[in-house]
Chains A and B, each alone.
Chain A
């Protein structure tokens, strides 16, 4: 895999180069007013080298927390780093378990507990995600990657109250 394609940088540059350097009055990119999903944009300045997508606008909004909303956006912003984009997990000297087709996700209590408190190599994420975010991403992994534990007659959806209940 090549590092940053130069063409991408350069095409972004063409746009960036016309902007006044570090201008504060530059029009801000519209931070997702249409979707409401990325209202808390971390991007307060004009971009110089590339044009951020709506998803990218939501990165790094706060130094100590994730502000992404919605299960998929949260999964993409943090969980997929180790559990991988399709929930397939990864193996090295140790491993990150696959979430795909994972029967441990049948009930929400287990993933909620692990997300909030961590387990073995998995760091606790209760400090960077709020109750709503933990509930949403819990339901996301329990209803994707071949898992189907949220919808239907037998389905159980995690709630923010469930998450609040396991916090220390």
Chain B
């Protein structure tokens, strides 16, 4: 395959552009190193001031935990019957009723679960990790990248899924060969000194698994990376046989390279974690600490402040919906803007406009239970993710309980955008039917082994109406939303540069209560920041 330098650059540009676009569409925000610098210290005496906290998600419970420790009287008001918000896990025996009334009774076997919301924790989400440590939440590795999982496009390789390892290795090798070739032809002479040219070639041999002629070829050496036709063994007839690489043009045409850098962003690099037993172990950890402060089944209908304090009215859903009133000196409101925009309040006009401008992303997740772990038993896939251009977008294999007998649960799809809207418009059994159909094109075992499934489509989740907050104009509006409004501060993942991540929720809460506490302890009147 001959290729001019110009077309090489065009090719790389094309690949980078498409990849960048894909990431923008599918990942949550930009890589942002956590600003967490250890447990918060709220010094100074709040003199018994009372704070109402609206919402018992991670933001609300973080605020409650720390403000109580600082000497505040704290009360939390929560719409749901339990704590955690989007830090949520569905297990066998759970029942979930979405908007529209459809109820799914989860039938998963003991130990199996679906995390409908957050499901993995990057190693640099220092605040989440520190609270896990402080709250005794056990963590285990979450496998993001699995070389033995699949890349799949309906129109590539006759629809046959390809091992990530083979595509990634061959693409790297072929690109290295190409770069070595043009280097040797002098095409980079203006870019690279003579000395660096040799270094570059040496590195390409190493990096790209090239032979002495700078060729990426079928060999024991390349098979050490891409896998063997016959893998090495012991005893008689144990010698390995090398495998045939896939050509560059086939890989380019297949577009399976789309997903090669998926695990390379800082939000997906190793090490990633998950709580043992389900993400809501974090919620339970917080709840053990602050559960006694929470009033559940309380639907907030108004939040009004004046010079004396904050008054919150809520419907007592557990007892016939009667109106109840709570008052406090201050309020930390973590209610998603999709809900807050429908609640009566007297926040400033510019804040109100920002609240009303934020909509929430559509997203769907499927938990599919199979009678056996065929992905492990038949295909030797232990954790990690297969990617596909089918509407399910991906299949993620459980990062726990490897090699066990009995049923296992796959994340059978995780989709956004127009695809999620269409799943949102379906009833649960319809959605599951589609997820099983699409998954069966990657794993034919689906048809024999599927047992039951559950799906959560976030626009139908009654207490948030979407997955995470999307700014119309973050640059213009962020500070308006984050700034304290007299006796009230707003917090949650939506007021962070880590949208949809639990780290964003906690950092937002810590920053909000720090500023509120400064105000409480430093000023008597004169409401400013």
Contact = CB atoms under 8 A, between A and B. Distances in A.
Interface string A55-93: 000011011111000000000111111101100001111
Interface in A106-123: 118-123
Nearest to B439: A49
Interface on chain B toward A: helix, strand, loop, or mixed SS?
mixed
A16 interface: yes
A145 to B, nearest CB: 15
B444 interface: yes
Contacts of B154: 44-45
A82 B360 contact: no
A122 B466 CA distance: 9
Interface stretch (A17-25, A27-35, A135-143, A150-158): A17-25
B102 A96 contact: no
Contacts of A92: 79, 99, 461-463, 465
A60 B446 CA distance: 21
A39 B391 CA distance: 19
Given A3-B429, A81-B457, A13 B107 contact: no
Contact of A3 (B104, B362, B462, B470): B104
B299 interface: yes
A124 B359 contact: yes
Contacts of A21: 444
Contact of B342 (A63, A78, A121): A121
Interface in B450-468: 450, 452-454, 457, 459-466
Interface in B127-148: none
Contacts of B436: 4, 9, 49
A91 B339 CA distance: 11
B391 A93 contact: no
A77 B418 CA distance: 10
Nearest to B463: A93
Nearest to B25: A64
A84 B356 CA distance: 22
B160 interface: yes
Interface on chain A toward B: helix, strand, loop, or mixed SS?
loop
Interface stretch (B192-200, B230-238, B419-427, B475-483): B419-427
B422 A123 contact: no
A120 B356 contact: yes
Given A50-B437, A79-B425, A96 B446 contact: no
Contacts of A77: 421-422, 425
Interface of B: 25, 79, 99-100, 102-105, 107, 154-155, 158-160, 299-300, 335, 338-339, 341-343, 356, 359-362, 389, 391, 417-419, 421-422, 424-429, 432-434, 436-437, 440-441, 444, 446-447, 450, 452-454, 457, 459-466, 470
In order of increasing CB-CB distance, the 7 nearest A-B pairs are A92-B462, A81-B424, A81-B425, A121-B338, A90-B99, A94-B339, A60-B391
Given A84-B100, A90-B460, 19 more contacts: A1-B428, A3-B452, A13-B447, A16-B447, A22-B159, A24-B158, A24-B159, A42-B391, A44-B154, A45-B154, A49-B436, A63-B391, A66-B422, A76-B425, A90-B99, A90-B462, A120-B342, A120-B359, A123-B359
28 contacts: A1-B103, A3-B429, A3-B452, A16-B440, A17-B447, A22-B441, A48-B447, A49-B437, A49-B440, A60-B422, A63-B391, A63-B417, A64-B417, A76-B425, A81-B421, A81-B425, A82-B99, A82-B459, A82-B465, A90-B100, A92-B461, A93-B335, A93-B463, A94-B342, A96-B465, A120-B338, A121-B341, A122-B359
